[in-house]
Amino acid sequence: MNKVSKWAGRLAGGIGKASFALAAIAITFIAVSIMWEVVSRYVLGSSSLWVTEVAGYLLAAGLFMGLGPMYRLNGHVRMSAVLDAVKPSTAYVLYLLTDLIVLAFALVLTWQTGQLAMDAYDFNWKSSTLLEAPLYIPQLAMTVGAMVFVLEVVATALARTPNDPTATQGRQAC
């Protein structure tokens, strides 16, 4: 593994860990807020106006923030029957081809979510609920998550070797 891939791996690993931690916090807050809503509605007899909306925004943020770290950990869904049947050098080429396709997808995702967040900010779009939450905030979280995804895909591709195409040497699990 060369210096560039080690540096990219460390950078992506650190940013990915932070992104994963934010995703975990978002999902935890969703669980706590939904439990609060259940208690509030069925025990106290009143409903919270914010829970459904905020939980939806946090779900989107948590999903996007978890994309990159899951890619690094090979935690995504994939069909490995072909990869298991071919030589490591052939699997290496297939993995790199897949990395390029995923990178193209991640770049478009980053561009489109960024454009959406900019439009929401420029046009002062707000949710159509009583909260009237500025929509650029959750969309910005999605954009940041997509950027982390791009970084993780590049670092993962750089870490691959012909003898071990699934290598993530020097990259830590979350």
Determine, yes or no, domain membership for 155: yes
- Cβ contact 9:153 at 8 Å: no
Q: What is the pLDDT along the chain (174 residues), one digit of tens a residue?
A: 578 778 888 888 899 999 999 999 999 999 999 999 999 999 999 988 899 999 999 999 999 999 999 998 887 766 677 877 888 888 899 999 999 999 999 999 999 999 999 999 999 999 998 899 999 999 999 999 999 999 999 999 988 888 878 765 444 545
- Count CB atoms within 10 A of the CB of residue 77: 5
In terms of residue numbers, what domain contains 46? 3-159
Determine, yes or no, domain membership for 143: yes
Number of domains in the chain: 1
- Exposure string of 106-138, with b = 16+ CB inside 10 Å and e = fewer, is beebbeebbebbeebeeeebeeeeeeebebbeb
- Cβ contact 169:150 at 8 Å: no
Q: Report the predicted TM-score, pTM, of the whole model to 2 decimal places.
A: 0.87
Determine, yes or no, domain membership for 151: yes
